[in-house]
Structure 1
Amino acid sequence: MRRRHISKYFTDSIWNDGSENPVPLLYSLQQLTHLDLSHNKIRHLAGYDLLLPSLEVVDLSYNHLHVVKPTNFGDIIQIIELDGCPWRCDCHLRDFVAFQRKALNAKSSRCYEPARIRGINWDDLSLKVSEVFRLGTDIFYY
């Protein structure tokens, strides 16, 4: 199996051990190259959830994710779709935004939190450590 679309199925997290999820273990899908998990209610990715050796494209758009980490994805990931999630643009998302800018063929998403920068595109945020996120002359520390 090289492609898998799982929509409106997950309620909170992806569980590779299958204990909370009747979906076949994602980890067992070693040849999977494209995974569509869009339009679910996923709030959290554990560090190992999407570490599939052949996974190149994953669609996580329109879930309830607030933050993701570069370590959530395998080494050959090329495209990650992330639109429509309520992103919390703070220091926890900073490393992923930097990773996304350098390594991925991905369009930028928009901040949902904090309210002061809601709707701001990730591309407009500074990633300087001394200015965790900066937009124009406003600096946001977290």
Structure 2
Amino acid sequence: YPPPMPPTQDPDLWSKYLAWWKTDSHAAHVLTARLSPSILACLPEHNDSATGLPRTSRAVLAAVKQFCNVNSVAAASVLKETLFARSCGTSHSAINSFCEAWRSDVGALRTMGYHFDWSDFIFSFLSQLP
């Protein structure tokens, strides 16, 4: 997918090619029709600048899955809650350990493809410091 552009002299291949894109555009519409503006903003461009082709429904679905953390929701939620519940002691070594744990957990969440609300993360981090 998407199918390669057929030679111009083959009308049968052209009709199949256009039918594929029409079907794909219907699927993309079903996926995007009721999305919120914040999710719509995370979708790929309508036309790929490298190929000039429209985005496919698979690209839309992959972006929605990534935005909504479909593949690792439970693990990411547990890690985020653990991170936000972490406390920090007042000693220099406790602060260093706290900061290192935050760096590690935020890195793990990024690896999972978690979509961050950075203001919440920054507020939580700063509010737990002594």
TM-score range, shorter chain: under 0.3
Larger Cα-atom Rg = 2
Higher helix content, 1 or 2: 2
Greater strand proportion: 1
Give the alignment's TM-score, normalised by structure 1: 0.20
Comparing both chains, which one has the higher relative contact order based on Cα–Cα distances under 8 Å and sequence gaps of 6 or more? Answer: 2
TM-score, normalised to structure 2, is 0.22
